[in-house]
Structures are given as C-alpha cells and as structure tokens.
Amino acid sequence: MSAISNRYDFVYLFDVKDGNPNGDPDAGNLPRVDAETGRGLVTDVCLKRKVRNYVGLKHEEKPPHEIYVKEKAILNKQHERAYQALGVDISADEKKRKGGDKVDEARAWMCKNFYDVRTFGAVMSTGVNCGQVRGPVQVTFGRSVDPIVASEHSITRMAVATEAEAEKQGGDNRTMGRKFTIPYGLYRAHGFISSHLANQTGFGGDDLDLLWEALCNMFEHDRSAARGMMSARGLYVFKHDSGLGNAHASDLFPRIDPKLKDGVAVPRDFEDYNISVDGGPLRPGESRQAAPGVTLIRKC
C-alpha cells in the first residue's frame, strides 16, 4: 500500500451529556478543566486510545492492524517479535539486544504490522531497541466550546466487600461513593496529517479511511456509565492538493465555528448550537473548495 501524498488538517467535534469524558486521576477523577477559563479538556491520549480500541475491535488485532499500545501490553515483547521475524537472536548479549545494524529493519517491521505505530508513532528504544517513529497523525487536546461545570453525585452500593465490613454496619451493608459528571459539553479538537511522515511509516490511503471511520464511530463502542452519552458531532477535513500544503492550518480551522444559538445561555444539548461552516452548511459526505488548493470535506 502506497503512502498518502496529500497533507490533511481536520476539525473534530464531539460532545458529552451527563458524563465525565476524561477524568483527571490527580484530581480525584474530576473532569479535566482549564482553571483560568473554565473550559473542559480531553487529552490527545484519550482520543487516540479510542481510535486504537476501535481499530483493534474491527480488525481483531491482526496484522497489519495490530495495536502496539494496549491494555496490559508488554512493549519489549512486541519488539522481540520484530527481531524474531527478521531471524535475529537478540538474547545472546546486551549488544545484540540493542539491535545492531538491524534497528531500521525492526522499525519497518513494527510500522508494517502495528496500525498505531505507523499512524501515531512510538518510542521503541526501551530495552529491546526498535528505534523511534514519528507518526504522521497528530491530535491536539479537545477543548470545550463553552465553559463547563462539574457536578458531584453521591452514590450508594447495597453491598460490602467483606464480612468484617458487614459486621461493622450491623448488616446494613451500604457503601458510599461519588461520581462526577458535566451536564453538557461540546468539545473541539484539531488534527494534522503529514504526507512526508506517512511516507516514512507507510501510512496509506486505507489507513487514512480507517482513521476517519474510527473518529466517526469510536464512541459507539466505548460506552460507560461514567462517560454518559458521548457522540461524534462532526469531522471536517481540509485536504491539500500537495504534500507540503496550500494554506496554514491556523487560517483553515476558524472556518468551522460552533456558536450558541441566540437566546441560549447555558447549553444542554447539541441542538443548542449552530455550526457555522464558511460557505454555508455542509452535510456528511459533501465537499467544497475551502481555499485555493484546499478542499473541505465533511466525513460525519
């Protein structure tokens, strides 16, 4: 599969209702927030995790769509597989564990077999050395369009974990807990795809189509009581006519402008927003010229 030859930039809109889209473990799992503006945050790592999960689910973790960074993975074991496939014994001594002159071949094997390595890149020089890969696809933090307010809810469980706990409560067997949600938030993230880095990792047209599919559908397979109702609300892709690009991303992104409808003070639903697209509404699957040498395509 040949690598893509065009540069892409994209705007990704998604929302959450009565849920916690990305809790911060250093803050008691509160929804992440910009302390100065009150706008909610969702990390790039969180979004890429959901892409990885979707790809792994669809392709059953089979090459060339295996997932390198996944739950309970031991990364050096994956590196060893690359050398085993190349017929290199890396167990003999420390020098061989570093890969010697086979690092480039091992890196190429990892890119070929692992979707997330050739898409997002990876540092694979820990222990068994497969080098480093700079991924062609980069994603920013998601940031809510308007400030969010986190709500704290007390919850009870009608059971305890041990007999000792039951005895202390005289058989009442209740445990208390809490969960955090935001009533509603529309989030916006930006992405960038480099054709030159794609050429280095082998990221091709089928990989690109799979990325768009994952972004449009990944929340449908990531349901959780903690996350509430999360949905993809729009994927707007700017396709450049060249590999270097025909316009600055900073000039293209403002063409997608979500704003609250007149009379709405506090958003509680996606319908409370107007999504302004420079040049008029754009339904999924439609495209138009966004700038000289740039086509705007709405994927979902």
The yes-or-no verdict on residue 96 having pLDDT over 60 is: no
The yes-or-no verdict on residue 101 having pLDDT over 90 is: no
Contact 115, 55 (CB under 8 A): yes
The yes-or-no verdict on residue 167 having pLDDT over 80 is: no
How many residues does the structure list for the chain? 300
User: What residues have CB less than 8 Å from 258, skipping those under 6 apart?
Assistant: 13, 145, 186, 188, 273, 274, 275, 276
CA distance 275 to 39: 18
Distances (CA, A) of 214 to 41, 52, 116, 217, 222: 20, 8, 12, 5, 11
pLDDT band at 1 (very low <50, low <70, confident <90, very high): low
For the chain, the straight-line distance linking the first and the last C-alpha, in angstroms and rounded, comes to: 25
The yes-or-no verdict on residue 247 having pLDDT over 90 is: yes
Of 160 and 45, more confident: 45
Domain assignments of the chain as residue spans, ordered by start: 8-148+180-298
**pLDDT tens readout for residues 250-261:** 999 999 999 999
**pLDDT tens readout for residues 31-81:** 999 999 999 999 999 999 999 999 999 999 999 999 999 988 899 999 999
> Which range has highest mean pLDDT (82-86, 102-106, 188-192, 276-280)?
188-192
Cis status of the peptide bond prior to 292, with omega within 30 of 0: no
Computed over every residue of the chain, the mean pLDDT equals: 93
pLDDT band at 92 (very low <50, low <70, confident <90, very high): low
Residue with tokens 């138009």: 288
Mean local confidence (pLDDT), 111-129: 94
User: What SS3 class is residue 84?
Assistant: helix
pTM of the shown model: 0.92
Contact 16, 222 (CB under 8 A): no
pLDDT band at 97 (very low <50, low <70, confident <90, very high): low
**Phi-psi map region of 191: left, alpha, beta (phi>0 left; psi -120 to 50 alpha):** beta
- Bridge partners (DSSP) of residue 3 are 204
Residue 85 confidence (pLDDT): 93
Mean local confidence (pLDDT), 160-177: 77
Q: What does the block give as tokens for 182?
A: 């935001």
Of 100 and 79, more confident: 79
